[in-house]
Amino acid sequence: MDVVDSLPIDMKLEIIDHLLESISPTNRDVEEAWKDEVERRIDEVESGEVELIPGEEVFARMRERYKK
């Protein structure tokens, strides 16, 4: 593993991507659908069509709802 440790971070990330792809190949249709969904949501936020909720509020609601 000494060889891997000496590699620059960008090469390490490329190796990781390759290994993950070999374990679980991406489905191009699914990837494209997610890309479209992300773009749609960005457009909604930028246009003011949706209201964002601060993360602290979301987590507070979750803690309240799922108290243990």
Task: State the DSSP string of the chain.
Answer: -HHHHTS-HHHHHHHHHHHHHHHS---HHHHHHHHHHHHHHHHHHHHTSS----HHHHHHHHHHHT--
pLDDT at residue 68 in the model: 63
pLDDT tens by residue, 10-67:
999 999 999 998 998 888 899 899 999 999 999 999 999 999 999 999 999 999 999 9
pLDDT at residue 66 in the model: 94
pLDDT band at 1 (very low <50, low <70, confident <90, very high): low
What are the extents of the domains in the chain? Answer: 2-65
16-24, long-range: CB < 8 A, 24+ apart? none
User: How far, in Å, CA of 68 to CA of 56, rounded?
Assistant: 19
